[in-house]
Amino acid sequence: MKPIKDFVGQFRTSIDLDESLIVKKQNRYFLLNEDLKRHVQRDFFYAGVYLGKVKGTIFFPSFTLLAMIAERKANKVIVDKKTAWLFICGRDIFKRGILNVTGSKRKGDYTLIQNEYNECLGFGKILRNMREEKDKNKVFVKNILDIGDFLRREKSASFKHKI
Amino acid sequence: MSGKEFFVGRYEELGWIYNEFESKPSIRINTMNVKKADIVKRLESLGIVLEKIPFLENGYWIRKSEFSVGATAEYLLGLYSIQEAAAQIPATLFTGLENKTVLDACASPGGKTVQLADLMQNTGVIIALDVKRRRLGALSNQLERCRVKNTIVYQMDARESSRLNTKFDRILLDVPCSGNYVADKGWFSRRTLKDVKKNAELQRQILAEAVQVVKDNGEIVYATCSLEPEENELNIDWAIKTLNLEIEKIKCHGEKALTNVFGRELDSSIENCRRIWPRQTQGFFVCKLRKQACE
């Protein structure tokens, strides 16, 4: 539970998760509800809401967890259409593509990246103090994780689709 | 007994003339995540031309797109899934899915599992099984991408579902099958009648196990994307005569299933199953079974 709380805290927010409904399977965390808790058995592979996994000392969040954080008041950068697309392709964010910022604008902080529809596309790390930097052609947020990851996973897994 | 000539001859004997057919790409809107009108508008603004599939509530054919519909932000956000039109039918045949306990016995890669979750609006519980571990990754990715919250996944052979010690209200049997030539370009050169019969036997074993774990009066939807009667009408004829199941009438796309297969007369209720020959969609077979209550 601590890795999740610590991760969420980096966005200057917190989320209430019922610890009795969180299960850890090897290094992966899942959030259940009461119905699922009644049914789940020890040897499950995936259950309820996947929250993320720990590798070494680093917590890797799921996109569902990021979306849960995005529902709260937290560090967020809203970007325009073109920037959103580039971010999904793994690119960093330049100041010129930013439409709005809520929460921290401070170098070193983590922030969620959202599109014009307020949908969470991933998260990144603020590289420059946004208030001070005037150059619109400099990278402001470094991409750490974006939803294009689903495609990258598919590619690397090279599984066959059943239609 | 294999080859194009052999199988095409069988189809003709069953009353269907073979045609070359290319399945149209199609999507299904995940209404648990987005309003249908909103996502249609968004996709159209990207230049994607959609055509509503007349026999599906949330299905659309992709008439034109300059890029893959599997690489849009909307797809990656789980607002829609890519799912062949006929494959969208089975999950819609269940009644009253919300808050039910549902088994998806052969679940990977998860298109129908997500559809079930959508129809259940993320209520109740879905237990999703697949026997191969490498396929569970694909299934889990689908669940995460589409924000499914009500599913537990196990690596388990559907023929061992009793190990779950759960009785299910609804069971989806999208059973492993021989497939068909529309979905698999090399189908005729690879498949033999021996394969078909082997799959049919496996499907019977899965059906028999499903009957053990479904509640009395519970519903089982059985589906294959095979055109071969051994995996379809003949299996269902065996099931209703052996497993205390009856066939429910369904209203969906497709033709009445065959009640005479290669001269063999089957139970007349088989006509309530649906056989879909490749025309608007790939080939498919679907039926809804109900377990009769014990006296």
User: Would residue B145 count as lying in a domain?
Assistant: yes
Quote the minimal CA–CA distance from B16 to chain A in Å: 23
Q: Do A49 and B135 touch (CB under 8 A)?
A: no
Which of B83, B101, B117 delimits the end of a domain? B83
**Residues of chain B contacting A40 with CB distance shorter than 8 Å:** 152
User: Would residue B13 count as lying in a domain?
Assistant: no
For chain B, how many structural domains are there in total? 2
Q: Are residues B210 and B67 in the same domain?
A: no
Is the Cβ–Cβ distance between B153 and B131 less than 8 Å?
no
pLDDT reported for residue A159: 41
* CATH number for position B44: 3.30.70.1170
What is the spatial distance between Cα A61 and Cα A81, in angstroms, rounded to a whole number? Answer: 24
* CATH number for position B165: 3.40.50.150
Cβ within 8 Å of residue A101, ≥6 positions away: A76, A77, A78, A111, A130
Q: Which domains does chain A have, with CATH numbers?
A: 2-68 (no CATH), 75-151 (2.30.130.10)
Q: Are residues B76 and B89 in the same domain?
A: no
Quote the minimal CA–CA distance from A132 to chain B in Å: 31
| Active-site residue (options: B146, B225, B273, B287) | B225
Q: Are residues B162 and B63 in the same domain?
A: no
Q: Are residues B89 and B77 in the same domain?
A: no
Q: Are residues B104 and B191 in the same domain?
A: yes
Q: Are residues B102 and B188 in the same domain?
A: yes
CA distances from A73 to A15, A155, B195 (A): 10, 35, 57
Which of B83, B98, B126 delimits the end of a domain? B83
Q: Are residues B230 and B91 in the same domain?
A: yes
Quote the minimal CA–CA distance from B124 to chain A in Å: 7
Please give the biggest Cα pair distance in chain B: 59
Q: Do B141 and A50 touch (CB under 8 A)?
A: no
Q: Does B125 touch chain A (CB under 8 A)?
A: yes
Q: Does B139 touch chain A (CB under 8 A)?
A: yes
What is the spatial distance between Cα A6 and Cα B221, in angstroms, rounded to a whole number? Answer: 45
Q: Are residues B149 and B247 in the same domain?
A: yes
> Which ipTM value was assigned to this complex?
0.93
Candidates B149, B157, B282: best to mutate against A (most CBs of A within 10 A) is B149
For chain B, 295 residues long, give each residue's pLDDT as a single digit of tens: 778 999 999 999 999 999 888 889 999 999 999 999 999 999 999 999 999 999 999 999 999 999 999 999 999 999 999 999 999 999 999 999 999 999 999 999 999 999 999 999 999 999 999 999 999 999 999 999 999 999 999 999 999 999 999 999 999 999 999 999 988 889 999 999 999 999 999 999 999 999 999 999 999 999 999 999 999 999 999 999 999 999 999 999 999 999 999 999 999 999 999 999 999 999 999 999 999 987 6
Judged against a pLDDT cut of 60, whether residue A161 lies above it is answered with: no
User: Would residue B274 count as lying in a domain?
Assistant: yes
B273 is catalytic: no
Q: Does B190 touch chain A (CB under 8 A)?
A: no
Q: Are residues B231 and B143 in the same domain?
A: yes
Ranges A9-23, A95-109, A130-144, B74-88: which has the least confidence: A130-144
Domain hosting residue B70, numbered range: 24-83
Q: Are residues B147 and B161 in the same domain?
A: yes
Q: B64 — phi, psi (to 5°)? A: -155, 135
Q: Are residues B36 and B145 in the same domain?
A: no
